Amino acid sequence: MRKRLVLFLMLFVSSRAYAATDEQWPAALQNQMIRLTTIGYHLTDAAKTSCAPQEAASGLVLDYINAYPEEDRALVARVTGLRSDPQVIGTVPGSPADSSGLKAGDAIVAINGRTLAQFRENLKDPDLLGDALEQALLAEPAGQPFTLSVTRNDRPLRFEITPRHSCAVRFLIKFGEGENAFTDGVNVAIGASVIDHATSDDQIALVAAHELAHILNHDRKATGLGDRRNMERRADILGGRIARCAGYSLEDGMEYLSNFNHRDWLRFFRDPSHPSTSSRLKALKADAGSVECPPRL
Ligand SMILES: [Zn+2]
């Protein structure tokens, strides 16, 4: 889980570089977090029978003011309304968190009776409180209800959430890496510019599903270029199947890949380990009619 913390931190440490001229960047960032969490929620739901270990997913998107660099916090608070405690910034539509009645702006007080003060006691770095809460939410057993205590407009409220089974994979936005996507075997990181350039969720979903497929296939370092290319082909096919089973349009998703091919700064697909874009698109198209859900390779 350590890697996840690093990614989580890097997300915010470099967020200033993202759009320093645009004061609304914290709001844009939160929207992208909700968007990517929603896509990841659907992809892992579609793939859940083929992944282990399993984890609980509630569809809750949290944010915490202290996860941002100190010099940005006043702006972030002004633009997003984040206060001092970790807050709900959104829920995935149709998720357990959504149907529980939780709303954006609800400030977390306790998870199953465990208070923020108790969470803080175990943290070396108090700024990681948001991450600790996320871990605690994921650790709640799937299929069993837990209570989330919040305040809404200073009024204490309690909600019951029953998380569903899911794959233990996080989807994170990464800054400053160009138009890129990658996985460390636990997390899927999608470059902020991928999200910027994609014209639909289907396109982001296909990129994210490719990385999720690497995790499900247990891909690690390949021994040679041939191995690496096979790995990429398998990730393309399984990723395409996952995206389709999650309800995303493969055709629209592929448009991103073909546009990608025409841009100059595509380190990701120019990588010699990835087969040429045209052969990838051909293989994806050839597989489009043969999808069974849940997806298998
Ligand atoms: Zn790949």
Sorted by where each begins, the domain ranges of the chain are: 52-166, 169-287
* 130 Cα–ligand 1 center, Å: 30
148 neighbors 165 (Cβ within 8 angstroms): no
- pLDDT for the residue numbered 14: 44
Buried b (16+ CB within 10 A) or exposed e, 270-290: eeeebbebeebbeebeebeee
* 237 Cα–ligand 1 center, Å: 11
Query: Closest Cα partner for 169 from 128, 201, 211?
Result: 211
Distance in Å from the first CA to the final CA of the chain: 27
* 279 Cα–ligand 1 center, Å: 14
* Nearby residues of 250 by Cβ (< 8 Å), 6 or more positions away: 202, 206, 240, 243, 244, 284, 288
* 181 Cα–ligand 1 center, Å: 8
* 231 Cα–ligand 1 center, Å: 7
Secondary structure (DSSP) of the chain: -HHHHHHHHHHHHTHHHH-TT-TTHHHHHHHHHHHHHHHHHHHHHHHGGG-SSEEEE--EEEE-GGGS-GGGHHHHHHHH---SS-EEEEE-TTSHHHHHT--TTPEEEEETTEEHHHHHHT-SSGGGHHHHHHHHHHHSPTTS-EEEEEEETTEEEEEEE-PEEEES-EEEEE-SS-S-EEE-SSEEEEEHHHHHH-SSHHHHHHHHHHHHHHHHTT----SSHHHHHHHHHHHHHHHHHHHHHTT--HHHHHHHHHHHTTSS--HHHHSTTSPPHHHHHHHHHHHTT---SS---
- pLDDT for the residue numbered 68: 92
What is the full per-residue pLDDT of the chain (297 aa) written as tens digits? 333 333 444 444 444 445 456 888 899 999 999 999 999 999 999 998 887 667 789 999 999 999 999 999 999 999 999 999 999 999 999 999 999 999 999 999 999 999 999 999 999 999 999 989 988 988 888 899 999 999 999 999 999 999 998 887 889 888 776 778 888 888 899 988 888 889 999 999 999 999 999 999 988 877 777 888 888 889 999 999 999 999 999 999 998 887 765 543 334 444 566 667 788 888 888 988 877 888 876
* 230 Cα–ligand 1 center, Å: 10
* 162 Cα–ligand 1 center, Å: 34
* 189 Cα–ligand 1 center, Å: 12
* 13 Cα–ligand 1 center, Å: 26
* 235 Cα–ligand 1 center, Å: 6
Neighbour tally for 261: CB within 10 Å: 15
* 160 Cα–ligand 1 center, Å: 39
Q: Which residue has the tokens 């009024």?
A: 155
The CATH number that domain 52-166 falls under is: 2.30.42.10
- pLDDT for the residue numbered 125: 93
Give the Cα separation of 20 and 239 in Å (integer).
34
C-alpha neighbours within 13 Å on the C-beta side of residue 3: 11
| pTM (predicted TM-score) | 0.87
Q: Is 127 exposed, middle or buried (0-12, 13-18, 19+ CB in 10 A)?
A: middle
260 neighbors 252 (Cβ within 8 angstroms): no
